[in-house]
Amino acid sequence: MARITDLVEQIIKEMIDENNGSVEITRAELADQVNCVPSQITYVLSTRFTNNQGYLVESRRGGGGWIRIRRVNMATPTRYLMHTLNAMGKSLSQHQADVLIRNFVDYDIVERREAMLLQAAVSDRVLNLIESGQRDQIRMVLFKNMLTSLIVD
């Protein structure tokens, strides 16, 4: 069975797709649907639905509170890749790379085969000979270089 975070992410993405790129939910309702605690919903939102990953998340707390999630529409794959490159910092964890690559597939930026190559190239298995303190920095350099090669005019 998929991890709860993967399941919550999948449900939210399906809801966004069904509602033309935007959805309004409550943490409690979604937590009840998935049978988890609301803090797990918050975790998924903060790690898998960020600006860097192409989402705008707004929320209102308190009684009657809601969360509105909108997918940022990037007109072309090149524009989406440029947005991603510009939003990246100096390091990239294995998890962050996996989320970005999954988004690239979801938005038809890359094919599954390309995604598999991206994941293989930046995986911890490949980078295990590098000191752990430098691994995320080297992963970032590799990832940015590969993304740059995907940009076409």
Going along the chain from its start, the domains and CATH numbers come out as 4-71 (3.30.56.130), 77-150 (1.10.1200.150)
pLDDT reported for residue 57: 87
How far is Cα 135 from Cα 141, in angstroms, rounded to an integer? 10
The size of the chain, in residues, is: 153
Q: Are 78 and 151 in contact (CB under 8 A)?
A: yes
Residue 26, C-beta contacts closer than 8 angstroms, at least 6 positions apart:
65, 66, 67
How far is Cα 101 from Cα 116, in angstroms, rounded to an integer? 9
β-bridge partners, 71: 55
Return per-residue pLDDT of the chain as tens, 153 residues.
Answer: 468 888 999 999 999 989 988 899 988 899 999 999 988 998 999 888 887 777 888 887 776 678 899 887 666 888 888 888 888 889 999 999 998 999 899 888 899 999 999 999 999 999 999 998 899 999 999 999 999 888 865
